[in-house]
Each structure stands twice: as C-alpha cells, then as structure tokens.
Structure 1
C-alpha cells in the first residue's frame, strides 16, 4: 500500500469505528470526509481530528454570539476539531493533572510551545476541496440515442443517467464547482464545455438558495498553507505555526488542479518578501491522491443520493470527543426553543473554543508573554479582542490580503464581539 493509501485508509478505518449518529443513511445520502493525521518519528499514523459535512449557512442565517457553526464543510469541521485537539494538548503542558503532551514541548522562558522532534501532521479529504481545486478537464460522454444538441446536453448534463448504454460521443468538458467567483475576480464565462469556468479565481461557497460569505475550501486551505492551520488564538501559545506536510485527496481528484489551487496560486517570491522577519513561511505540502474509496462518496452523475444534512466532528480528546452538528449550525437535535441554551452549541463552535483558550490562559504564570500582552489591555473581553492580541498573525494576514488576495471577502467584525 502506497503512502497516500496508508493515510487514507487510516482515516476511513477510524471513521468506521465512530458511532452512527450523524453519519449518512446508507444508500440514501452522501457526504465528504476530512481528517488530520499525526505521524511520529517511528512513522506511526494516528488520526487526531476528523470531520464530515457539506453545508454552509447563508449570511442571513448567521448569528453574532459565536454559538453556531456557519461553515460545515468537512474541511472546516475537521480543522475546528483539530484546533480543539491542539487546545487539549496545550492543557497538558500548562495545567496540572492533564497528562503529558505527545506533540508539544515548552520553552519555559517565553511560555511558548513547539512541536516535538519528528512530529508531522497530514491532511486527508475524500473529494477535491470546493472552489478552484474542483475545476479540471474531463471528457463528457453524450448518449448517442439522446439526440440532443451539445448546448442542450450541457444544460442537463447532471440529469443524464449513468447507466445509459450507448455512450460514444465525447467532448472536452470541465468538472464544475458550485462556488461563485467573488467580486473583483475574473468571473466564470459559462461557455460550453471546457470554457465554462475561470481557473484561479477566489470563490465563495455555494449555499442552499442564498449566497454565502464563506470563502471556498480551496481558498481557505491556500491561506492556511501560509498562515498555519492553528488559527490566531492558538498561535499565541506557539513559537511557530503548524503546517501540514502532506495533503491527500480521494480518487475523484485531479493532481494538477489540486497543486494549482492549494499551492500554485500563491505568488511565492512576493509572499516570501512580505513574510520576512515573521514566523510565517510559504508552506508547500506534498500533494498526492489516493485510490481508496469512501463508502459515502459523493456521486459523480446520475444518482438519487442526497447530501447528508448533518456534520460529524471528532477530536482525539478525553472529553466529548464526538459531536454532531445539524444544518442549522447547532448540535443535532436542538429545537428552536432550546437554541438559547448552552448545550445547543457544539464543542467546536467559536464560543466553546474560546472557553478552552481562556482555560489555558487562566492557568499560565503571569510572566508569560501572552499574559503580559493581555494585562496591558484595559478592555480585552471579546473574542475579537483576544484575536487581536495575536498581532503578528493579524498584521501579516492583513498585508497578505492587501498585496496578494485583495478581493478576499472581509470578515464582518460584528461576529467577533461575543464574550464568554
């Protein structure tokens, strides 16, 4: 078994061991699976975080109190689960009676942590991330007996049954994405076949009826490959960002498109100059594909399967490792009447991740750098206030966005004003 298949099979096998709650219904639904894998110096592979999901809330459905998960695509759910895993590993460093971290060591002088020697993280996803990574050339077949013209076929291409017998008319086509180009980017021309999409553009995720404000997974992964996968708050506890060594995608992926979308769109010389004298780098993970098939794989064409409405999040942590998020952004089973209750919010919501941050901060000795930063602030109370303490992270991303990703949608700060 090659390396990509080893990583993929470890993730798929772990998913099989999880409870059925939140998983797709066999033969009726499909989903996407993403996961983070830890590899140690003995080359052992262990899944540390996992997520499934396909939904994303429209802007009118979002809430400002941090209790909902707005973006429930598998890649984002898995990353949130990964951040939760990192918090629990940091607790093992800074809090008594929480065990010994298998991934971090501590610099007692600064209070910052760094990865142990030989520890690497990999990322796996069963389907190409939405957005630019899903745009690649394909050959489309037209049923001979269908008798339709090419333009007519393009309009109804997704409705043609897969098991049509006579398939001998071929033409160059493009694999499609529902993600929309953001204003200011080159827009999709929607020409017949291979001219349908514009490659390289920043995009937002498709929503069910309403356009979203969430950048596509291709764009988010591109950003994480520069800023690290740990986020701004965890970054405060670390001496250097956490980067992914290998990205593995399932069999329906195109390697050239993946490399272009996740790494190739980064203007390396320009960004390297901007990152000079920061702790960030232009990470270029190895990108490979796997032949392993996910049992709930997204169908290509001609299927009655529906996307699963729920999302599963799992982290390698001792408390509440498994969570299921409904398409509303709350925990599955939450009613409208109970949405105001604390238990309605999933363990990977921003408000609950902030609680983990505060728990670690409260255990730190006052001479740690992060404590000095917070003590210098007179009004550091909201989620946004704590994020802004990660000055190097915030300022670096601002420079990158202005210089290289000028059309990246700006985050509405009203969603960062909640407290715990």
Structure 2
C-alpha cells in the first residue's frame, strides 16, 4: 500500500505556507476565512510541498457575472485553490520538465507516475458535506440568525459558513437539510449560480480536477489521492457521502473517468488561527497563490472576483488591469499559450476544427474536449441533474495572444 504524507504533515505545511505568504499583507485578525491547498508529493524522493493555495468565503450573485471571463464568480477557498492549481499545471507544461512530460507522437502530457496530489482545507466543503445527523433543536436555535454570517449549513449546525440553497426539495426553506442534495452557494441578496464546494469536489472526484481545457492536453485525468481537513471527526461520514457515497448506488461506466474513493483524513488537533468565531466576520478578501516563478507574480489578492486595490477609474482606463491570473480569461490565455508552444498540439487542434488559426470562443474551446463533455453530459443526466447552467453570453468571449 502506498504511503502518503500524514494529515498532520499536510496541515502543518499548508498553514506554514499561508503564514509566510501573508507576512507582508495587512491581515485583519478580527475576520475569519477558510484556507485550502493542494499538495504535490513525490513518492520517490519523498518531497512534499504546497503547489496551490486559496482563501475565501464569498461568491457573487448572477447579476454581477461577467461576459468576458474577467471576474471570478466563485471565490470560496476550495475554488480559488483549484484555479491556482490549473495555473500551476500550465506553467509546468510550458517547462516540459519531470512533472508533466510531453509525448510528441501521441500529442499529450503524462503526469510523472511518482507524483500524487492531495487536497487540504481548514473546513469541510460547503454543501452536502456539512449536513450531519439531524438535530432539530440545533436547527431551531439558528432560525433567528438567518440574516447573520453564520446561517446553518447542516441539520447539525456547524455555524461556520452561510447557508446553502438546496436545488432539490423545498427551495424556499433555507434550512432544508436533505442529505445528498445538490446546492448552490448564497450570494449577498442575489442568488448565485455557483454550485457548493461539496458538489464541485464531487464532480472533480469523477472527471478529475483538471477541467475540460487541460483534459485536452493530458493523457489521464488528475485525481486527489487524499482529502484532508482540520475539523471535528463527526463530519467524516458526511464528507464521504458528499464526495462519493451518494453516487455509489448509481452506475457510471466510462473508460477514461472513474468514480474515486480517496482516503479522507481529519486532523482534530490542528487549529487554523483564522477559523470562524462568533465575534468575527467573514473576510471579503481572497488570496490566490501557486508555485510558479516570482517573475510570474504567483501571489494575488482579490476582492469581488478581481484584483484588490484596483480603482474604478483605473478599470475604466484599462479594463484588464484588474483581471486575476486565475480568471477564465487568463487561464484560457494560458491554454492557448501552451497549444502554440507545442506545434504538434496546435496542428492537431487546427485539423480538428478545419481552420488555419485558433480563433475560438471559450465555449468552443471547451467543446473540443469531446471525451470530457460527453462524460459530463452523461453525469448531468444520471448524477448531477440539478447542476446550474451558465447563461450562453458568459461563455462566448475570445482570447488572443
């Protein structure tokens, strides 16, 4: 059996990385946040390091969504971290080093078999993973706090993140706690189209964390080998249900994508110093970092889905000055950069679309990943039937290098 770094080790290096990153950043200790990281582990050298990191608790409503891919819809820590990881992968592909090796003949990248990836978060993912054994008294005690910053997240209240909107069952009941239900995240006043982190992690657990664009470039999907959390042990079964158990009664047969059962570990002893407390408010800020060279500015501070500190006047003068490197727009740009860097990949795609130039919209680029899209459509039919759909006009932007 393969041995991986312990949950305690992963928590330790994750919090240490975060602490080092924010040394020169103004930090409000009166606010709380969630930290998520992705750990890269080399089974041969035993090297264990953080390669992607994100913090955040906020999400924008559907009325704030951007048609050119320059604003993040979802700034929860898990999502910021995952998008930072995609940025890291693109950076490594451009190096063609020992981590992602390019096969010119078959036109894809292979992950070094010695490398595995592990997910860490200081809190269970919002949504189904926070629904624990029914506790009517706890639910009733929170009914007076629905407008506060710790609306219930489960039948047994965890009291950490805002409540989540069930897409099945009673939609108008903010305390609806149906186990296994898909949920969207709440916005401030306006409902969001962003699915809960439980649902997104569950999707990645079947299709891989790489997404549609990177799937075009990879030999195999990338899955987390372990999921690690700092919390109370009683949430273990809820997390298992949210990530994979709620789908085990259904059948999904695919040669490329397979429902995973990663090892889920909980460390009850490590306490993140920005954990939610009753006298704290959620931080409106997110931090995104990935293990790329300093000249690529790996650390970004964000608020409301764009760079923090960018004035309205500056945005009017230069609309792209506030765009994060982990936005759809910039990650699409990275995808095209990798394609252009490897002529055999570019030729393969151009032959597929019957064009001489790669001038496709974001939606058209994603559609190129036929295996991924076919599998996702099948999953939406049988597993994720209530998954929200983004308006078409939000996916039609184009990126030019």
State TM-score, norm by structure 2.
Answer: 0.87
Alpha carbon RMSD of aligned pairs, Å?
Answer: 2.7
Distance (Å, rounded) in 2 between the aligned partners of 1:216 and 1:380: 33
Which of residues 59, 64, 71 in structure 2 aligns to 1:68? 71
Match of 2:365 in 1: 386
Larger Rg: 1
Which of residues 301, 307, 314 in structure 1 aligns to 2:282? 307
Match of 2:31 in 1: 29
State the Cα deviation string for residues 363-412 of structure 1 (Å, max 9, x = none). 22246634533445888421111111111111110111012221111232
State the Cα deviation string for residues 11-30 of structure 1 (Å, max 9, x = none). 0111111034666411x100
Q: Is the 8 A contact 1:187 1:198 kept in 2?
A: no
Q: Is the 8 A contact 1:22 1:324 kept in 2?
A: no
State the Cα deviation string for residues 223-258 of structure 1 (Å, max 9, x = none). 010110011111111011111100001124610100
Distance (Å, rounded) in 2 between the aligned partners of 1:37 and 1:137: 31
Q: Is the 8 A contact 2:107 2:344 kept in 1?
A: no
Query: How many angstroms does 1:4 deviate by?
Result: 0.7
Distance (Å, rounded) in 2 between the aligned partners of 1:189 and 1:356: 41
Match of 2:143 in 1: 155
Q: After superposition, where does 1:237-248 map in structure 2 within 5 Å? A: 237-248=217-228
Q: Is the 8 A contact 1:38 1:122 kept in 2?
A: yes
Q: Is the 8 A contact 2:350 2:356 kept in 1?
A: no
Match of 1:11, SS state, is: helix
Match of 1:365 in 2: 343
Q: Is the 8 A contact 1:128 1:252 kept in 2?
A: no
Query: How many angstroms does 1:350 deviate by?
Result: 0.9
Q: Is the 8 A contact 1:330 1:339 kept in 2?
A: no
Distance (Å, rounded) in 1 between the aligned partners of 2:26 and 2:241: 32
State the Cα deviation string for residues 110-154 of structure 1 (Å, max 9, x = none). 120111121100000100111011111387999xxxxxxx95x44
Q: Is the 8 A contact 2:169 2:176 kept in 1?
A: no
Match of 1:344 in 2: 322
Which of residues 133, 137, 144 in structure 2 aligns to 1:137? 133
Q: Is the 8 A contact 1:38 1:48 kept in 2?
A: yes
Which of residues 231, 247, 260 in structure 2 aligns to 1:266? 247
Shift in alpha-carbon separation, 1:37–1:154, aligned structure 2, 3 A: closer
Q: Which structure 1 segments of 5+ residues have no match? A: 94-100, 143-149, 161-171
Match of 1:408, SS state, is: coil
State TM-score, norm by structure 1.
Answer: 0.84
How many residues align? The count is 380
Which of residues 166, 174, 189 in structure 2 aligns to 1:181? 166
Query: How many angstroms does 1:155 deviate by?
Result: 2.9
Distance (Å, rounded) in 2 between the aligned partners of 1:214 and 1:110: 36
Q: After superposition, where does 1:14-413 map in structure 2 within 5 Å? A: 14-20=17-23, 24-26=27-29, 28-41=30-43, 42-93=45-96, 101-137=97-133, 151=140, 153-156=141-144, 173-175=156-158, 178-182=163-167, 185-187=168-170, 197-252=177-232, 254-267=235-248, 270-271=251-252, 273=253, 275=254, 277=255, 279-291=256-268, 292-299=270-277, 303-318=278-293, 319-326=296-303, 328-340=304-316, 341=318, 342-366=320-344, 369-376=348-355, 380-413=359-392
